[in-house]
Amino acid sequence: MKFSIQVSEGPYNHEASVTAINFIKAAVEAGHVIFRVFFYHDGVNNATRLAVPPQDDRNVVAQWSELAKENNLDMVVCIAAAQRRGIMDADEAKRQGLDADNLAEGFRISGLGQLIEAGIESDRLLVFGA
């Protein structure tokens, strides 16, 4: 089955993001396809490479980046939600005249149309969090 995933909460306030990671791992293992992972609301905070959790805690951002690399995932961060919360790739930071960018490896920034397209193209769209 072809799944898409919406992640609506950040890496630490809620379990939702980690649950999504675990779901994706299990789905891929069972032979399913992940069409896209879309990060919305505070879910965009999963995409900051500046997160440095304590050493004895899990690094959820790094887990996402690793998951993307291992499974060639398309991980899209909503641009409108990201701009509100200060999640920027280099191009966007430049366009906004900002002196820093922070998008972690494996993520790309795009529009909400990517979420709707994921709903159209996938057999199931699952929302984690909110």
Partner 1 sequence: MPTIKKFMYINRKAPYGTVYALESLEVVLIGAAFDQDVSLAFIGDGVYQLTKGQNTDGIGQKNFSPTYAALGDYEVTKIYVEKESLEERGLTLDDLQHLVWEDEDEDYAEKDSIRLVSRAELADILDEQDVVLSF
Give catalytic residue positions. 78
The nearest distance, CB 65 to partner 1, in angstroms, is 24
Which residue in the set 7, 61, 67, 125 belongs to the binding site for partner 1 (CB under 8 A)?
Answer: 125
Handedness of CA 80, 19, 25, 1 (dihedral sign): negative
Are 21 and 67 spatial neighbours (Cβ–Cβ below 8 Å)? yes
The nearest distance, CB 113 to partner 1, in angstroms, is 6
Tokens of 86: 């200060």
Which residue in the set 6, 17, 46, 48 belongs to the binding site for partner 1 (CB under 8 A)?
Answer: 6
Our finding on whether 37 is near partner 1 (CB under 8 A) is no
Q: What phi and psi values does residue 105 have, to the nearest 5 degrees?
A: -60, 140
Task: Quote the CA–CA distance of 89 and 108 in Å, as a whole number.
Answer: 8
Q: Which residues bind partner 1 (CB under 8 A)?
A: 6, 8, 40-41, 80-81, 111-113, 115-117, 119-120, 125, 127, 130
